Amino acid sequence: MKYAQNILETIGNTPLVKLNKVLGEDFPAMVLAKVETFNPGNSVKDRMALKMIEDAEKDGRLKPGGTIIEGTSGNTGMGLALAAIVKGYKCIFVTNAKQSKEKNDILRAVGAEVIVCPTDVTPEDPRSYYSVSKRLGEEIENGWYVNQYDNLSNRQAHYEQTAPEIWEQTDGKLTHFVAGAGTGGTVTGCGTFFKEKNADIKVIGVDTYGSILKEYHETGEFHPEHAHSYITEGIGEDIIPQNYDMSVIDHFEKVTDKDGAIYARKLAKEEGIFCGYSAGSAIAALIQMKDKFTKDDVIVVLLHDHGSRYVGKIYNDEWMKEMGWL
């Protein structure tokens, strides 16, 4: 009999799927989508969530019966919650008001306590989801604050798992890797692995307007006052997480909130791949950069999470009309 001992053993080994329509007939290169929705928590974050927990168990930061505390836009929380169920931990997740209701409902469905903080406050503000999660980590007895932004097990998970899978699936033939950039774990972990294998592979981070990642990459200067709120979920930052190694990223491509939403919907309708907001942003980024690619290129684009997280927003016609996007 072939079966997994528990749900955590099903993380990884996600498929690579050729995109055929959504990029248009005149798109020059082959584009292969790494569809991370096949993970049990329906996102790429399952990989790093388990890695962060296992590493914390090994060095004693997370003790038996402990409480896992994290600030999350939803997906990391889901991965942490699944591991917590199997391993016997409690979870408290702190999120912000712009995240979809579905994400919070899903986290509660798997047994987590969810605290929602205001969106339009600075990271240093005591009401921000960064500050609240950090404070709870200090106050709660036997609590462990994960801090996915600065926890280097995040990028290590992708260096050890995600990138080697892609390398094997493409037989080492990829020329470009494209991924949404948020905490920096995926784009840096995969980027580091690919650069070690072949320095000519181009690593592209997908950013959003309102985020400061692209500016920091290009100037080396951190201007938090240049950040402003945006609607896209899962990518962009108003801080520079320690998981970033900007030297392995060749380019950041910014995508508007509207284009991310529209191309997520097109991906679902034209490819049958039902993914989230950042996946739409990644597709839009490829189209914006079309002139940079050739017929000999093999592009791998990572699709982070599932469309079910966004049925009340980008997949809801009324919401899209309210935004003026439909």
| CA–CA gap between residue 44 and residue 119 (Å, rounded) | 24
Q: Is 195 marked active-site?
A: no
User: Cβ(281)–Cβ(255) under 8 Å?
Assistant: yes
| CA–CA gap between residue 61 and residue 244 (Å, rounded) | 23
User: Cβ(249)–Cβ(203) under 8 Å?
Assistant: yes
The catalytic residue among 34, 45, 258, 313 is: 45
User: Cβ(17)–Cβ(36) under 8 Å?
Assistant: no
- CA atoms 281, 286, 289, 290: torsion sign: negative
| CA–CA gap between residue 201 and residue 270 (Å, rounded) | 28
Counting every residue written for the chain, the total comes to: 326
Neighbour count for residue 20 (Cβ, 10 Å): 10
Which residues share a beta bridge with 32? Answer: 18, 300
List, in order, residues 6 or more apart from 304 with CB less than 8 Å away: 36, 43, 44, 45, 75, 179, 180, 186, 234, 275, 276, 278, 279
Tell me which residues are annotated as active site: 45
